[in-house]
A and B are shown apart, each in its own frame.
Chain A
Amino acid sequence: MLKYKERYDYILGILYTLKRKRQYGFFSLKDIIEHLDTMSKPGEVYEIARYLEAEGHVRTLYSPGDVFVEITPSGIICIEEKDANFMSAFEDFLVRQELKQQVEKAVSKLSEAKVKASRKPIIDEISEIIKYLNSNKILKKSDVNIDAKILKFELQKMIPDREVISIKLSKMGEFSELSNQIFQLKEYLYGYLDMDY
């Protein structure tokens, strides 16, 4: 089990390995985290991205459901200055996780398909809410159902409007019957929207 601080180094290590394999551009941080041996909750990918960005080790592109990151020269130097013990442990980790030969296959690059795939859990959650509202004659024609549909459409855009998402999420949050489902949505979206619970 990796220590929390080690996770940062291993994430940078994977980005560094990709760079050395001449893989350029932004990569899915969620994919990288999924290959580390620790459990993560939906909002954690944003916390990790913000730390690495604050330290100047990565450039970031925030998207609902994922953050796409690119290693910076400072991130490269951070890894190159690590001692032999770290490099050896990291090499072992790559072998153990079967990433040594095909890290570029395990970690997706920023693409329309990847963006859509990373939003699927959120869109599925909203679809469930719409399904529930449609099952009730009164709620079917309610504003909250229209808000849910607008939110779903907005999240299907490559670059969704944060303000639209915030407003619709806030309006849906006022509807107490949906409090459990909205809580789930907030877990996915508040990190992206940079809002506090």
Chain B
Amino acid sequence: MIKIEQNLTYFPQILKKIKKGYRMPYLYGTVLNPHNGRKTYTAKKFLVDTGASISILNSSFNDLFEDEKTPIIEKMKIQYGGSSPELPVYNVKLKIKGFEFDIVAVYDKGLKTPYSLLGHFKFLNNFDHFGISKKRNKFSLIKDTTHA
């Protein structure tokens, strides 16, 4: 059984004029590029995004791919609001709370958000359950490995 449970991160307001707080499901993880052995030596922040079809790594992962020798699985058009750049897709290893996942992720060197995204393909699809408990202020990802 793989169980990843984390507190939701609370933000006191989303708009300056409306004092209304909200909570977001963030996780911290390290990423390894298995092709060149480069890894992140700080934990990177990821938003668990149920609206994302695939995971997206932001510009902070530049060190992992700067040699430009890592095989690109394919190029994929990513739809952000008004723009849809075509971006490279890589195989990477993601480690969260000691659990390692082989994921496929888009790398967007132009993405300057302070977090990356964890989407469905090869990440959320790994799990049997993804749940948010507002009452407990936690979210959890569970995978039953007994039938694997």
Contact = CB atoms under 8 A, between A and B. Distances in A.
Nearest to A72: B98
Of listed B26, B41, B98, residue having the most chain A CB within 10 A? B98
A140 interface: no
B41 A55 contact: no
Contacts of A51: 28, 30, 41-43
A53 B44 CA distance: 12
B41 A54 contact: no
Contacts of A1: none
Contacts of A170: 12-13
A166 B96 contact: no
Contact of A167 (B7, B12, B26): B12
Given A4-B41, A47-B42, A50-B43, A195 B98 contact: no
A50 B13 contact: no
A162 B137 CA distance: 11
B97 A196 contact: no
Contact of A55 (B11, B13, B95): B95
B80 interface: no
Contacts of B10: 162-163, 166, 193
Nearest to A56: B98
A112 interface: no
